[in-house]
Amino acid sequence: MPQTSPASASAPRAVSSRPDCARNVSAVLGPTNTGKTHLAIERMLGHETGVIGLPLRLLAREVYEKVAARAGAENVALITGEEKIKPAEPRYHVCTVESMPQNADVDFLAVDEIQLAGDPERGHVFTNRLFHARGRLETLLLGAQTMQGAIRDLLPEANFISRPRLSKLTYAGQKKISRLPRRSAIVAFSASDVYAIAELIRRQRGGAAVVLGALSPRTRNAQVELYQSGDVDFMVATDAIGMGLNLEVDHVAFAGRRKFDGRVHRMLTPGETGQIAGRAGRYMNDGTFGVTGECDPFDADLVAKLEDHDFEPVKILQWRNSNLDFSTLEALQNSLNEIPASHRLQRTRENDDVAVLERLAGDHEIIDLTTTPEHVARLWDACQVPDYRKISAATHAELVASLYRFLISDNGLIPEDWIEKQVQQAASTEGDIDTLANRISLIRTWTFVSNRQGWLADPEHWQARTREIEDNLSDALHQQLAQRFVDRRTSVLMKRLHDKSALDAEIEDDGKIFVENHYVGQLHGFRFTPDTHASGAQGKAARHAASKVLAQELARRADQLVAAKPETLALTRNGAITWNGEEVARLEGGEDGLKPGVQLLADEHMNAPDRDKVIARLRTWVDHHISQRIKPLVDLAAAADLDGIARGIAFRMVENFGSLKRDTVAEEVRGLDQTARAGLRKYGVRFGAYNIFFPALMKPDAAELLLLLWGLKHGAEGGLDPYALPEMPRPGLTSVTADLTLPEAFYRACGFHVCGGRAVRIDILERLGDQIRPLVSWKPDGENAEPPAGALGGGAFKVQPDMMAILGCSQEELNGVLKALGYRLERRPVTPPSANAPAAPENGEKAPGEAPPATDGEAPQKEMAAEVSDGETQSTEPEYEEIWRPRRRPERRKRPRQQDRAAHSESHGAQRKSRQADREQAGSTKPANDKRGPKKKRAAPGKAQPKPAANAGKRQPAVDPDSPFAALQGLKEKMERDMQERA
């Protein structure tokens, strides 16, 4: 839209601002909750005709409903900028102050909240009514005490009536939103803050009603009804709550003190703060006010003013000339710029209608169209359309310009098809809260247009149409607000609880609990679990409501469990005891590892006698369950026929949950006689080469229970949660890769022996030892000339496939197990047979002159490297075979004291014979105390005896079979054999 500078206007001049006669004017002044509005209604109904002007459309609707209920709807008209309900011959008019009929000839007239005459935005309208709105018989000006001085100066003949507050108002300080008392109103100053606070209250306190000035009366009434009916105990509102909304509010909490007044963000004045705080405490009920959220506490001076209702008087009233000159556009601008003559009055700032007029006055097209006083009046009339949408000043000016063009057209009416298109844009009820609120703002514009006289050909049709759309949008918005900010289930429960009404609660067979047909939670075993969607006040209400049936149901279930069959109970691997599939208790560690405690999982609604009898029943079942699953160990723990060393070993077995490493009790085992051994074997104990254990406890069920019992007793010591232990090896596995972050005791409780990086089931490890033992003990003789597979004589053996098969592992993994068991590995090259070489001797004996096998301690001699030709070094690398031997460790035993020798001579003699047998199985007949090395073989007659190498007595580093030095070593040995053959 093209614009130029505004039309020039002459300098403003002062005009007379003389009010009309005030002989029948009474000013009823006082703080909030003094009954001023109620007084005005009563006084109006005492006259034949009357008009009352109210500051808000919402309040006008509320007063209209009260008056219509008493005088009859056919006698009462409602007139606001967006709504008109006008019977044929109304006696009473309820209006917004801006919509009060001019020059009304009525007996009674009242203007509410007259102190708004000092408001920069709307004050000039209230000042105009102060000066010119009169009833024939009686005029009431209702407002705050702060207006007394201004009214006395401007209306010297007015009467003054003071109204004291009916209740006391007290400052309550700062409170968290979660701790605000019931029947509280929280005041914020932006829609986003209102929504955020309402959302928080919904989560913590069950729900809140929401009131904003932009809501339609229908939506506002529905929200207020939520609060007034007790469905919710909280209301979140803007400062619109301070303008006469009569609610049952006990406490007002300020979430902020800064508001946007249409131009700037500013702090509330003490008078505005008092107007809002005064909503607390209606009629004779005292009220409190305070702050919440991020609002700073009030200082002592402000608190004193609010409690005593002592505020600075209104000194200046806003004024705008109402006697406008429509002769030309310039004359209209000049008349709007006139200033008042009274020192009590101040020309108001540029409001929206004047701002739009100034913008359009700079448009050449509008200037050309505005040529007559009627056109000027029409333009000013169009500028009165409020900017409900608040998009931008330019957008609003374009809308006003479009309306003005229609109004000065040939028929002077807005086209039906054009307004139909505009109205249709707001007809949809789909969308979220903000979308619906924006559509309501849009339809309010067309509601205002439809109520302007002479703008439409069929105004009644469009008034009905826009009203219907606004009502539909209002209902949809109310539903959205209730759905977002109110939990219906919680609100019903809270209301019935506060009313102390009897609640209808019932429990279904599957444990679901319903209160007033609302699902509130479920009973699992002996514990009540509230609905997962219930939190804060909702969860509290659900638990409180469900308590009615919980105590009775828990007592019934306790009796059922005590009489339950054993098969209905079960113990999980995590230590939970279930009854019919529902967890009712769990085990807990105690002094005795085989007798854990029982912790009942029950709510406080279960009484002590029922708890005791349930725990006793569960403890009996647990003891029986353990005695059946690990019977050998339980029997051993209770054995009364063991004594001495056998009893000590039994105690250690129980303490270690069924297994012991043999080397940890080697001394004790040596001290056992055959009778003591037989006594332990009677209980299922097996003495293995590596472990002492119970073969019966290697089964998965027993191992799982033993792991659980170990976890309860010692799991926390190893940094493990006894109720969330790692998975034990799967049943059927004979060995697994060991997790070295877990304590070794964890695997032993599972029945596994940790060998290096692998954990082998204890009974399988003993089977491995049974396979190795005959290979180590084999030696050639006349009757045993054929060696077993893998036996090499002299205690040496080679790994066999059967060994890897029973462990279910690779050879490399088996090598780690063997090393962990104490076996040592020798690697020697495999010499290919030579055509000229003599036949290999039988029974594994070495041929004369054959080099000894390479061991880990040997290293190639570097001196031979220079003698080997390049062709020889490229020959095929020799193959190696791995040979295992038991590691020899000398036994260091203290000599027995002289007085003990006789007592232990028989036992020691048996032990010496056993050790001698072990040496004979290993191929050695040397006495135990013979520290001499093996005898050297003499050279054959006629043969030169080779000199010992200079470093023969030193241990050489191991040779990497893949290095060139290993090849050189093989070639060196081959050359030595060739030299011997030639000799």
107-138 pLDDT per residue, tens: 999 999 999 999 888 999 999 999 999 999 99
First to last CA, the chain: 124
Any long-range contacts for 679-684 (C-beta under 8 Å, 24+ apart)? Answer: 679/641, 679/642, 679/646, 680/636, 680/642, 680/646, 680/649, 680/650, 683/632, 683/635, 683/636, 683/639, 683/650, 684/632, 684/636
Do residues 679 and 644 touch, judged by C-beta distance below 8 A?
no
Do residues 562 and 614 touch, judged by C-beta distance below 8 A?
yes
Do residues 250 and 280 touch, judged by C-beta distance below 8 A?
yes
Do residues 184 and 233 touch, judged by C-beta distance below 8 A?
yes
Helices 459-485 and 416-424, packing angle to 10 deg: 0
Do residues 686 and 669 touch, judged by C-beta distance below 8 A?
no
d(CA 939, CA 188): 113
Q: What is the largest CA-CA distance in the chain?
A: 161
Q: Look at residue 377 in the predicted model and tell me its pLDDT.
A: 94
Nearest-5° angle of CA 827, CA 830, CA 831?
A: 140
* The two structure tokens encoding residue 320: 């705008």
**Which whole number is the average pLDDT over 419-448?**
91
> Per-residue pLDDT for 698 more than 90?
yes
Query: May I ask the CATH architecture of the domain 169-308?
Result: 3-Layer(aba) Sandwich (3.40)
Nearest in space to 135 (alpha carbons), one of 223, 39, 20: 20
d(CA 595, CA 578): 18
- Tokens 């708890």 label which residue? 611
283-292 pLDDT per residue, tens: 778 899 999 9
Burial 184-215 (b: 16+ CB within 10 A, else e): bbbbbbbbebbbebbebbbebbbbbbbbbebb
Burial 896-923 (b: 16+ CB within 10 A, else e): eeeeeeeeeeeeeeeeeeeeeeeeeebe
> What's 14-162's CATH class?
alpha beta
Give me the residue spans of the domains in the chain. Answer: 14-162, 169-308, 317-485, 489-562
Instruction: Please count the helices (runs of H) and the strands (runs of E) in the chain.
Output: 31, 38
Identity of the amino acid at 314 = V
Q: Look at residue 917 in the predicted model and tell me its pLDDT.
A: 40
Residues pairing with 211 in the sheet: 237
Q: What is the CA radius of gyration of the chain?
A: 52
Q: Look at residue 206 in the predicted model and tell me its pLDDT.
A: 77
Nearest in space to 659 (alpha carbons), one of 596, 753, 734, 594: 753
Higher pLDDT, 35 or 901: 35
787-809 pLDDT per residue, tens: 889 888 888 999 999 999 999 99
554-607 pLDDT per residue, tens: 999 999 999 999 999 999 999 999 999 999 999 999 899 999 999 999 988 899
- Tokens 């009775």 label which residue? 552
For every residue of 485-514, DSSP letters joined together read HB-HHHHHHHHHHHTTPPP-EEE-TTSEEE
- SS3 for 430-444 is CCCHHHHHHHHHHHH
Q: What are phi and psi of 888, to 5 degrees?
A: -85, 120
**Residues in contact with 952: Cβ distance below 8 Å, sequence separation at least 6, in sequence order:** none
CA 803, chain centre distance (Å): 53
Do residues 136 and 103 touch, judged by C-beta distance below 8 A?
no
**Residues in contact with 955: Cβ distance below 8 Å, sequence separation at least 6, in sequence order:** 857
d(CA 350, CA 338): 12
Cα–Cα distances in Å, from 109 out to 180, 267, 339, 783? Answer: 41, 34, 28, 137
d(CA 7, CA 1): 16
Q: How many residues does the chain have?
A: 983
* The two structure tokens encoding residue 786: 């054929």
Q: Look at residue 872 in the predicted model and tell me its pLDDT.
A: 45
For every residue of 598-663, DSSP letters joined together read EEE-B-TTS-HHHHHHHHHHHHHHHHHHHHHHTHHHHHHHT-SS--HHHHHHHHHHHHTTTEEEGG
Give the 3-state secondary structure of residue 343. coil
Q: Percentage of residues in the chain with pLDDT exceeding 90?
A: 53
d(CA 502, CA 165): 38
Window from 59-68, 253-262, 776-785 with minimum mean pLDDT? 776-785
Higher pLDDT, 489 or 53: 53
pTM, two decimal places: 0.56
494-521 pLDDT per residue, tens: 666 666 555 667 788 788 888 767 777 8
* Residue 319 binned pLDDT confidence (cut-offs 50, 70, 90): very high
611-668 pLDDT per residue, tens: 999 999 999 999 999 999 999 999 999 999 999 999 999 999 999 999 999 999 999 9
Burial 623-635 (b: 16+ CB within 10 A, else e): eebbeebbbbbbe
Give the 3-state secondary structure of residue 71. helix
Identity of the amino acid at 315 = K
For every residue of 141-198, DSSP letters joined together read EEE-GGGHHHHHHH-TT-EEEE---SS-EEEEEE--GGGPPSSEEEE-SSHHHHHHHH
d(CA 111, CA 130): 8
Nearest in space to 768 (alpha carbons), one of 726, 728, 800: 800
Residues pairing with 638 in the sheet: none
> Per-residue pLDDT for 170 more than 70?
yes
740-777 pLDDT per residue, tens: 999 999 999 999 999 999 999 999 999 999 999 999 98
Do residues 15 and 321 touch, judged by C-beta distance below 8 A?
yes
Asked if the domains 14-162 and 169-308 are classified in one and the same CATH topology, the answer is yes
